[in-house]
A and B are shown apart, each in its own frame.
Chain A
């Protein structure tokens, strides 16, 4: 386990370096730079001589490789330099907006999961056919409406017409609800789709029929067997959803005029503020790597058949007796259906459903 984590951390460092380098190369390849962007505007009224002063002040007149090595060296030491458009230390700017974005994405994640769970359950367990069908079309519907449309509609009705929520962030929890729900919808759509499908296929497994035959209620089967068995793909998708949350926060924060990482990114990209973009890229990469590592490490806790470092791991202690009892009693064909997966030790699940 320890070796596995160490290897993953090593990979993470490589990924971070690659992200930094790639971002540097891409942004350097773009024509122009933050300083000339500011100066070229006919109304900026700054002379070309001033441009040279500024370029040398920011070290942008040095050769590219020197800028790269200097930037990388400083980044390793945790110094991300100064923003070219605001003159603030980049680290300060990022730290300043992180809480706001964490609040937004955190609540969005909660909303997204809750919404996905409700829809997935309604699709599979809805008491009426029309409800199951209506719920079944929700993921596709929400998946296909762009975030900004939802945001603008929400503002139009909830804010401008009904005055329920402030249109622009005023720091209250109420102002957070609409953007978080908007962003939550984005990630909820694929989650709901995958979760619903996963529940359906798990319920079609022979062992479920056995449990039904033995008289277990649907609620019991769901809690004890279906939920656990059908949540792995959702977990994988959750890891990916973190990336989507960050991407979605760009649009959401712009529409709702919320301060945050997304808004910072938009501004930095528009003004070609390289140091800020670099820091944001690194931060997002780190978050993404960390979340996916956490997801990978969480697999064995949900499905004991999954082994993270190739060694066999027995997780029999503490298993509820109720669980072993019906399994022990299942007829041979059913046991065979469950067993094969347990025999050859798998590393990580491959049947990951992508949105």
Chain B
């Protein structure tokens, strides 16, 4: 601590201090020079395509810390990684929704629509060398369908009504169900249905949560994992079974991918600009311009499935039991303005129960037009008259609601604040609260039906997502009491319609009913916004916006 040298006169000599200042100045100068040398890493302007280049390491920054790695974990950050490690029986075209071959070359659905026979591609191996054959595919689906109580593994909701598997021959496997489900073929394309090696299936729940154990047949393999914040993948050189929909064949272009969790939004955007990161996930609407101004590219991918909406609990007591009030709330909601003021063009304006891009989605835009006068009329008609402070009243009761800013969506606060002001125009008072994740969950655990408006969405690129959400025997998010038989019948009908035209009509019928009854108030289409460095080419995602880096390459 004693920094004075021995024979220094006192007070500390001014000469010494000048030396110190000079040294500091020199250090600063040196630092600046070094900065000049080191600062040349800013990315060059986009090459605008060109021929794909093999090699290079892509750095991917994600805001959310990684949790356990079970294949059924849908956590956004985790699935960015696992989606690149595992292959599925089928591949869903994210644009058209069409199901195409992948590990399965072809398949047949039985007459009674209860059994599916898959013919597997030959020569596919896991990264540990074991073959991907009918037996292992059957074992994978059995674990999804039945769970494994002893290992702490519960049955997967995506495999409801699963009856069992049958290995017909080493390349042929058959699955049977107790009830027809037009959505099942799409399940075989979802990342959670990724085919994994026997060692993963033999592991218990905790061990399945270790990324080292997630051994698939995908274009990338795990190189290293560090705690909950970094994962490095390396390409698999002998990968030769890309799905038909991919842009190329053989091994992936990138040599390595470094996934890192960087919670601070400013750091992610800054790192993108400085060239330290190639891809940053979850760019906030207000950061999009910063990214493009810095030479980066914004790419938004629709999260197919439900739109992000306020689900109204019909079971909750209060004015929302009256359909006229619900319709008024719908009419008082200006989605265009939400998009322009609180969000960005990356977030499509919703036109139905399903988000843009979801196959066979219906169109309910006629129910979703903004019409303040109609909202006022509806409320007047229902007996809600304007009080002295502008808030409507009926029998001494104020037309006031509480909205919870859901902790899952980064844009929630801005959207609901705007909605608050929109509804106020119609004489509806909104109290906005921002609970923590824990508080919010306590609220839902306590009495979910009592929460009148629940903001949320469930993603899945298939209309069957509506059944999981609205069917009274599934998640029953309307909490209707007594049960809404009409709604149940509608959401089940789409699962029985195997013909696409019929199924589209069944989905449209759901949309018509849901919005005629104003059971949901759509806010925006859920979107994943990625910031890309200009050198990133061929970046794409699967149908629910999880990164798939097989076709991605780095220019320069």
Contact = CB atoms under 8 A, between A and B. Distances in A.
Q: Do A and B come from one complex?
A: yes
Interface of A: 30-32, 36-38, 40-47, 49-54, 56-58, 82, 85-88, 93, 96-97, 113, 117-118, 121, 125-128, 131, 152, 155-156, 159-160, 162-164, 166-168, 217-219, 222-223, 227, 231, 254-257, 259, 263-264, 266-267, 270-272
22 contacts: A40-B441, A42-B458, A50-B147, A56-B152, A57-B152, A57-B205, A58-B152, A86-B209, A87-B70, A126-B17, A131-B17, A152-B266, A159-B271, A162-B32, A168-B262, A218-B12, A219-B8, A219-B9, A219-B10, A222-B4, A254-B263, A257-B261
Interface of B: 1-4, 6-14, 17, 31-32, 34-35, 38-39, 41, 61, 65-68, 70, 72-74, 147, 149, 152-155, 157-158, 205-210, 226-230, 260-264, 266-267, 270-271, 273-274, 276-277, 408, 437-439, 441-442, 444-446, 456-460, 468
Which 3 A-B residue pairings sit nearest by Cβ, starting from the closest? A87-B209, A218-B10, A31-B442
Contacts of A125: 10-12
Contact of B438 (A31, A166, A257): A31
Contacts of B205: 54, 57, 87
B229 A257 contact: yes
B167 to A, nearest CB: 27
B459 A270 contact: no
Contact of A117 (B3, B11, B12, B208): B3
Given A40-B444, A43-B74, A46-B72, A254 B264 contact: yes
A223 B4 contact: yes
B226 A259 contact: yes
Contacts of B209: 86-88
A160 B270 contact: yes
A183 to B, nearest CB: 16
A52 B35 CA distance: 56
A277 to B, nearest CB: 13
B35 A164 contact: yes
Contacts of A218: 10-12
B74 A45 contact: yes
A240 to B, nearest CB: 18
Interface-central residue, A31, A42, A82, A162, by most chain B CB under 10 Å: A42
A30 B31 CA distance: 49
Contacts of A96: 226-227
Given A47-B157, A155-B266, A223-B2, A86 B228 contact: yes
Nearest to A50: B154
A164 B277 CA distance: 16
Contact of A37 (B11, B41, B206, B441): B441
Contacts of B277: 168
B231 to A, nearest CB: 12
Nearest to A51: B154
B276 A167 contact: yes
A43 B408 contact: yes
A222 B6 CA distance: 11
Contacts of A255: 264, 267
Contacts of A32: 438, 441-442, 445
B14 A127 contact: yes
B441 A53 contact: no
Contacts of A52: 154
A88 B67 CA distance: 10
B227 A87 contact: no
Contacts of A113: 1
Given A31-B439, A42-B458, A219 B230 contact: no
Contacts of A36: 441, 445
Contacts of A266: 65, 263
A162 B35 contact: yes
A259 B4 contact: no
A37 B3 CA distance: 54
B154 A163 contact: no
B437 A53 contact: no
Contacts of B456: 42-43
A118 B17 CA distance: 12
A41 B41 CA distance: 40
B441 A271 contact: no
Contacts of B8: 217, 219
B438 A30 contact: yes
A152 B12 CA distance: 36
Contacts of A117: 1, 3
Contact of B210 (A31, A41, A87, A126): A87
A43 B227 contact: no
B68 A86 contact: yes
A41 B264 CA distance: 22
B170 to A, nearest CB: 32
A243 to B, nearest CB: 22
A97 B229 CA distance: 11
Contacts of A217: 8-10
B29 to A, nearest CB: 13
Contacts of A31: 438-439, 441-442, 445-446
Contact of A87 (B39, B72, B207): B207
Nearest to A44: B74
Given A86-B228, A159-B274, A43 B264 contact: no
A167 B274 contact: yes
A188 to B, nearest CB: 13
A257 B456 CA distance: 29
Nearest to B32: A162
B224 to A, nearest CB: 12
Given A31-B442, A41-B74, 4 more contacts: A159-B274, A162-B35, A217-B9, A218-B12
B360 to A, nearest CB: 20
Nearest to B59: A168
Contacts of B13: 127
B90 to A, nearest CB: 19
A45 B445 contact: no
Interface-central residue, B7, B38, B72, B274, by most chain A CB under 10 Å: B274
A152 B38 CA distance: 20
B408 A159 contact: no
A31 B270 CA distance: 37
A257 B262 contact: yes
A84 to B, nearest CB: 9
A301 to B, nearest CB: 15
A53 B267 contact: no
Given A86-B209, A164-B38, A267-B65, A227 B2 contact: yes
Contacts of A222: 2, 4
A30 B210 CA distance: 28
B38 A271 contact: no
Interface-central residue, A37, A57, A255, A272, by most chain B CB under 10 Å: A57
Contact of B17 (A44, A47, A127): A127
A223 B207 CA distance: 59
A146 to B, nearest CB: 14
B152 A53 contact: yes
A271 B1 CA distance: 43
A49 B1 CA distance: 63
Contact of B408 (A41, A131, A162): A41
A31 B408 CA distance: 18
Nearest to B41: A163
A14 B471 CA distance: 54
Contacts of A256: 267
Nearest to A164: B35
B39 A163 contact: yes
B10 A162 contact: no
B462 to A, nearest CB: 12
A167 B517 CA distance: 51
Contacts of A163: 35, 38-39, 41, 274
B507 to A, nearest CB: 19
A178 to B, nearest CB: 12
